[in-house]
Structure 1
């Protein structure tokens, strides 16, 4: 039996696990750009071409809350903001792209991510 006033060991572990998950989830969000300031993607207009590993290229074009991507492996996709309302991460199903300043990371589920720069 545990000391009086202390929760069970299993209950304490559950609280610790829940706290850890909340901390990790908080680290996955980004603050919105203040009004009047451009975010990561809004900083460019028209298609932007990135140079990627292994002499590959990727083209990204902003379309409202989505981006149109011509991927390094030749796929043409329209990807929504993920989560909605931010401007750095886009993806659905098997594909995702993260745009940070002049860098981009192209990801396909089950494959090694491809780093790109502009």
Structure 2
């Protein structure tokens, strides 16, 4: 079971700006600098700077590359929805209730 969390509120910003903001936030959480991202990805420092500032949109190949070198989900960057795998006790710490279905159990 997977739980999705919407982490963005309604904002009046372009998708390019939203992706740049989310990427900056996740890089900060992981303590990855723009210079380190440039080194890991093989992209130039100026190219990274323009994308982090929202001056230039990230394309899908760049999103995939960033996901591969940082572990930051491209889906999260595009949507603002974080996927959280549920643990054995459910996403909220409570017990997981399994669906029983309508048919009797087989033995």
TM-score by length of 1: 0.22
Larger Cα Rg: Structure 1 or Structure 2? 1
* Bigger helix fraction: 2
* Bigger strand fraction: 1
